[in-house]
Amino acid sequence: MVKQKYIALVDCDSFFVSCEQKRNTTLKNKPVCVLSNSEGCVISRSKEAKKMGVRMGEPYFMLKKEHPKAIFKIADHEYYSQVSKQVMAILKDFSPYVQIYSIDEAFVDLTGLVKLYKKNYKNLAIHLREKILQEADIPVSIGVSSTKTLSKLASDKAKKTSCGVYLIGRCKIHKELNNTIIEEIWGIGRRLTKSLK
């Protein structure tokens, strides 16, 4: 019998903003936006900025009039890359199998780690999330399931939970997929959605 895999997708929350808040803690819990350049567009928003109505891709010249209380920072990709390396190093220390997917996302194979850490898979993910927050000061959302596609779906759902972790176990897969629209599945774009429907 093939052992069921448990794969986590660790996704840094509003990563560029989180990096700016790590560098300057007075920015935490404030409506912060990161711009592509000094007169560019928004490429990252804090949850406070989202609540304010700031949209991704919106240009600075419009935002400074519409949202005068928002705080704007110019992207510092060199610094963000350093922080990303710090987060990825924590993941590699936690599990021997880590696949970096982007600057702010990585797949982590948790299979079998329950014995090492003496925690079930959900608590293992909660522990990993707390470890990243303590050591790197970066908040993350973690989705856990049996495949990368399902863990990606779970990580999207994790962003809406208070603990920042969501697990789609074997028994929940059919229920979760029945309540999921096609467009929410990772890798399915507009054309494929149309043909699948």
Nearest to 119 by CA among 6, 4, 1: 6
The β-bridge relationship of strands 140-145 and 42-45 is: unpaired
* Contact between residue 148 and residue 107 where contact means Cβ atoms under 8 Å apart: yes
Q: What one-character DSSP code corresponds to residue 13?
A: T
Instruction: Determine whether 184 is an active site residue.
Output: no
- Run of H or E residues at 47: helix 47-52
120/37 Cα distance (integer angstroms) = 44
From 66, 105, 130, 176, the catalytic residue: 105
DSSP state of 20: H
| d(C-alpha 183, C-alpha 62), whole Å | 30
Active site residues: 105
